[in-house]
Amino acid sequence: MSAKKTILVGVDYSPHSKNALREAARMANSRDLSLVCFHVLDQDVLNDFKHMEAYTEKGVLNFAQEKMDSFIRDVIGTAHEIESVVCIGHPFHETLRQIEEHQPETLVLGSRGFSSNEPHYVGALASRCVRKAPVEVLLVRNFQDQPFQNIVACVDFSETSRRAVHRAAELANQDDAGLLLLHIYKPPVYADSETGWLGPVFPILPIPDIEENLGLRLEQLGYGIGKEYNLQNLSTKVISALSVHQGIRAALEEEDADLVVLGTRGRTGFKKLLLGTTAEGLIHNTPCSALTIKPADFHYSLD
């Protein structure tokens, strides 16, 4: 296990993998963390080559290690404290083993999509890691080749979303980016509007009054965060919408956000992390990179 805290980044030599590596290096440098890069050779793919006379596992690993080290040098140079790892096995299982060994603060992966107008097209590995990896997961879009400029943190006033706000503030401080704290208010009369409109089931306060109270609560949170992280460009916004994840996406497009930070839902001991419609919809449809924060007690094991 690494003595120093780490940032763990998966490498597959794709364009979005390059940007994931760049962002992981920025995060590691900013917080004086070790950077661990790993690449997984899929065992099922290698099995197809075992009949070849020249095949040896050692030879394949040596070649893969040289390729990975060359890739890292080409993308971020050598002025970093870097550990590179090549392993053979199932990509998701090996990713979890790297997490267990290095205990990273963040797992960084590339995410497909060549423009902000395209869906995220999250691959199978990235999707499983967002659901099940016991660390925060940053998915970096293909076009995100520069430090973040406009960060949006989604706030529902839960403990996990508060942790998401703090992480968003750290990244805003790191990249000198603007930070928007966003709350989507879903009127109670539309409490089940994801599946169908039920109409009002109990008396409620006027919506403007509710939104005003939420806005004051959000501003109070923002004031404390701005002061703690010395952020000069922090704002808050409350939006009323019938669908939370669609409301967030519309706000991301309006703000020209390049990173959204949000908490996920899940419980200790559950084999499957339930993201809920909000996180699930955003991960696959957000127009920008995404950082997902797990609940403090989240745990997942292959056992």
Lowest mean pLDDT among 165-174, 228-237, 263-272: 263-272
Is the model's pLDDT at 129 over the cut of 70?
Answer: yes
Q: Where are the domains of the chain?
A: 1-145, 147-303
Reading the block at residue 235, the tokens are 């704002």
Q: What DSSP letter does each residue of 219-271 carry, written as one string?
A: HHHHHHHHHHHT-SSEEEEEEE-SSHHHHHHHHHHHHT-SEEEEE----TT-S
CATH number of 147-303: 3.40.50.620
pLDDT digits over 13-58, tens only? 888 899 999 999 999 998 889 999 999 988 776 766 666 666 677 8
Amino acid at 180: L
To the nearest 10°, report the CA torsion of 183, 187, 188, 191: -80
Fold match, 1-145 / 147-303? yes
Is the model's pLDDT at 131 over the cut of 60?
Answer: yes
CATH topology of domain 1-145: Rossmann fold (3.40.50)
Q: Which segments within 168-213 are labelled E, that is strand?
A: 178-185
* Rounded Cα gap, residues 100 and 302, in angstroms: 11
DSSP H or E stretch at residue 26 = helix 15-31
Reading the block at residue 250, the tokens are 């519309």
Q: Which segments within the chain are labelled E, that is strand?
A: 6-10, 34-42, 82-89, 106-111, 136-141, 150-154, 178-185, 234-240, 259-263, 289-293
Ranges 19-33, 112-126, 189-203, 260-274, most confident: 19-33
Ranges 73-77, 109-113, 177-181, most confident: 177-181
pLDDT at 11: 93
10 pLDDT band, cuts 50/70/90, is very high
Q: In what order do the strands lie in the sheet with 6-10?
A: 82-89, 34-42, 6-10, 106-111, 136-141, 289-293, 259-263, 150-154, 178-185, 234-240
* Rounded Cα gap, residues 285 and 283, in angstroms: 6
pTM: 0.85
- CB 293 within 8 Å of CB 164: yes
Give the residue from 83, 71, 73 showing the smallest Cα distance to 14: 71
In this prediction, residues 163-176 reach a mean pLDDT of 95
